[in-house]
């Protein structure tokens, strides 16, 4: 646990008492602050009170009297589509609003570090797709190479729930736009940008707001190294904004699909091979086709970003390659769950938007595609150029009919339920084909979250 610094003897309010809210309360109290909590759910409030936490109804007039700061859980809107009433009330009386990420960066460094031989480091990973895989892969490579490391943030443990840093330790954080948008302190040593595609547009009032939320990790914190995917204009813009000139090797540009040239530092993957170039000279290469936990071009981009992050920490190419080969992959992200009669079953339930699903469709040559769910803004037009590998689509979800009609050029069958979709796809699959769950939609019409959807797919495959 990271005791929060700067609030000893003060009262701090917490809005939202889920995983991050509870960890924040413990960390605040460990730092000498008094935490008062509120949640919109009566059941959650009752549970908090039963556990001994001090409830305060932050919706009432005068609730912020004597409060030094309001800490907000990431799922609560603070600006768009409208600020939560409690947040608006804090603004009105001048109480600073922050989140657990801001508290972490404010509190991570301590006086104990003066005795360390090697200062701890923080690597923060953001982007639309691949940030979980990239963060987990960086952590795996570090551990396999004997470097002490912790993984936290939007994956694994909450940021305030990790252990205080040891000498030379690296903390790897996955950060969502919800987390970077509000944090008052963002000071990673190394910041990683995977890519950008439309997502969470209602929460950020459009793509520009979404980009701005993620860009804060770089613009506000001024990382020593910035690793930036440049396969979209937003990444190219960000890399240009961060660099002081053509040869600025504080910026490492990464790509999947294009060769990067020039006097700077580049890591890219083409046709399954990762290459590292510095000053237009190749100094490292890895055959990613032999890495089972990282299938497809989208995972090769993740590999490039993770490779670059580890190189900035002084790891050698061969040590990184060996660790990549043992990387098992993450659940619900290009996860191979079974192979039967030369038919492979892949769970990519995390492909909740069009861009991530399109990348999954490019990873395999012949696909029986299970898709559908709660469709996001923008429609499915972005998928249409990538349906060439789809032998047939099996559409689930409450809006399966409408979803299927948009898959112009692909054979699609409305199945509605996961059980029916898996049964149909399994019965019709031929040798060499892949039964792929990559929904291109949210799960909330049928499941609590994408993990539950992926678990249901695994259950159906195994039954």
Average pLDDT, the chain: 95
4-52 pLDDT per residue, tens: 999 999 999 999 999 899 999 999 999 999 999 999 999 999 999 999 9
CATH of 11-98, one of 3.40.50.1100, 3.30.70.1400, 3.30.2290.10, 3.40.50.720: 3.40.50.720
pLDDT of residue 198: 85
CB-count burial class (<10 Å; 0-12, 13-18, 19+) for 396: buried
pLDDT of 330 > 90? The answer is no
The neighbour count for residue 281, using CB atoms within 10 Å, is 7
129 marked ligand binding residue: yes
Q: What is the DSSP string of 30-57?
A: HTTPEEEEE-S-HHHHHHHHHTT-EE--
pLDDT of residue 233: 97
The strand pair at 343-347 and 335-340 is best described as antiparallel
State how far the Cα of 456 lies from the Cα of 219, in Å rounded to an integer: 41
pLDDT of 156 > 80? The answer is no
**3 state SS of 305:** helix
- Give start and end residues of each alpha helix (H) in 53-130: 85-93, 100-107
- Tell me the pLDDT band of 306, cut-offs 50, 70 and 90: very high
pLDDT of residue 297: 87
417 marked ligand binding residue: no
Class of domain 109-325: alpha beta
Query: Which tokens in the block code for residue 361?
Result: 């469709």
75-95 pLDDT per residue, tens: 999 999 999 999 999 999 999
pLDDT of residue 428: 98
- 419's enclosing H/E stretch is helix 418-428
131 marked ligand binding residue: yes
413-449 pLDDT per residue, tens: 999 999 999 999 999 999 999 999 999 999 999 999 9
- Could you tell me which residues are beta bridge partners of residue 123? 172, 190
Residues 166-200 as b or e (16 or more Cβ within 10 Å = b): eeebbbbbbbbbbbbbbbeebbbbbbbbbbbbbbb
Q: What percent of the chain has pLDDT over 90?
A: 90
Mean pLDDT, range 252-269, rounded to an integer: 95
State how far the Cα of 181 lies from the Cα of 435, in Å rounded to an integer: 37
312 marked ligand binding residue: no
326 marked ligand binding residue: no
pLDDT of residue 17: 96
Can you give the pTM of this predicted structure?
A: 0.88
94 marked ligand binding residue: no
CATH of 335-462, one of 3.30.360.10, 3.90.190.20, 3.40.50.300, 3.40.47.10: 3.90.190.20
The answer to whether the beta carbons of residues 176 and 125 sit under 8 Å apart is no
The neighbour count for residue 23, using CB atoms within 10 Å, is 20
359 marked ligand binding residue: no
3-13 pLDDT per residue, tens: 999 999 999 99
The answer to whether the beta carbons of residues 237 and 223 sit under 8 Å apart is no
State how far the Cα of 89 lies from the Cα of 110, in Å rounded to an integer: 33
Each domain of the chain, given as residue ranges in start order, spans: 11-98, 109-325, 335-462
206-250 pLDDT per residue, tens: 999 999 999 999 998 789 999 999 999 999 999 999 999 988 999
Let me know how long the chain is: 463
pLDDT of residue 290: 83
């Amino acid at each position: 646990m990271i005791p929060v610094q700067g609030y000893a003897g003060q009262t701090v309010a917490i809005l939202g008492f889920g995983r991050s809210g509870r960890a924040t309360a413990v960390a605040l109290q460990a730092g000498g602050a008094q935490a008062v909590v509120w949640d919109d759910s009566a059941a959650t409030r009752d549970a908090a009170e039963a556990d001994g936490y001090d409830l305060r109804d932050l919706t009432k007039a005068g609730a912020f009297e004597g409060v030094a700061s309001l800490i907000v859980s990431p799922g609560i809107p603070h600006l768009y589509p409208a600020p939560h009433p409690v947040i608006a009330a804090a603004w009105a009386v001048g109480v600073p609003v922050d989140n657990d990420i801001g508290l972490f960066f404010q509190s991570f460094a301590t006086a104990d570090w003066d005795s360390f031989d090697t200062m701890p480091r923080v690597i923060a990973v953001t982007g639309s797709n691949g940030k979980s895989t990239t963060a987990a892969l960086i952590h795996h490579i570090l551990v396999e190479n004997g470097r002490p490391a912790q993984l936290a943030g939007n994956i694994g443990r909450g940021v305030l729930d990790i252990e205080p840093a040891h000498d030379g330790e690296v903390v790897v954080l996955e950060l969502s736009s919800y987390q970077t948008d509000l944090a008052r302190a963002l000071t990673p040593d190394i910041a990683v940008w995977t890519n950008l595609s439309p997502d969470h547009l209602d929460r950020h009032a459009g793509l520009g707001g979404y980009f701005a939320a993620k860009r804060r990790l770089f613009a506000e914190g001024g990382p020593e190294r910035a690793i930036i995917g440049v396969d979209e204009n937003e990444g190219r813009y960000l890399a240009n904004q961060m660099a002081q000139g053509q040869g600025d090797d504080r910026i490492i540009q990464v790509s999947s699909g294009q060769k990067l040239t020039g006097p700077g530092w580049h890591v890219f993957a083409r046709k399954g091979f990762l290459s590292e170039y510095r000053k237009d000279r190749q100094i490292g290469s890895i055959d990613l086709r032999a890495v089972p936990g990282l299938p497809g071009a989208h995972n090769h981009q993740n590999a490039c970003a993770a490779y670059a992050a580890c190189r900035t920490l002084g790891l050698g190419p061969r040590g990184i390659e060996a660790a990549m080969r043992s990387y098992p992959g993450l659940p619900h992200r290009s996860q191979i769950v079974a192979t039967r009669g030369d038919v492979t079953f892949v769970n990519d339930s995390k492909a909740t938007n069009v861009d991530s699903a399109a990348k999954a469709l490019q990873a395999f040559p012949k696909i029986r595609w299970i898709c559908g769910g709660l469709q996001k803004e923008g429609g499915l037009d972005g998928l249409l150029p990538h349906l060439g590998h789809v032998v047939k689509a099996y559409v689930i979800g409450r809006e399966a009919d409408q979803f299927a009609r948009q898959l112009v050029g692909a054979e699609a069958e409305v199945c509605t339920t996961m059980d029916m979709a898996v049964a149909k796809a399994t019965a019709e699959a031929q040798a060499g084909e892949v039964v792929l769950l990559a929904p291109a939609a949210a799960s909330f019409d049928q499941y609590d979250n994408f993990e539950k959807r992926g678990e249901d797919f695994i259950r159906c495959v195994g039954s």
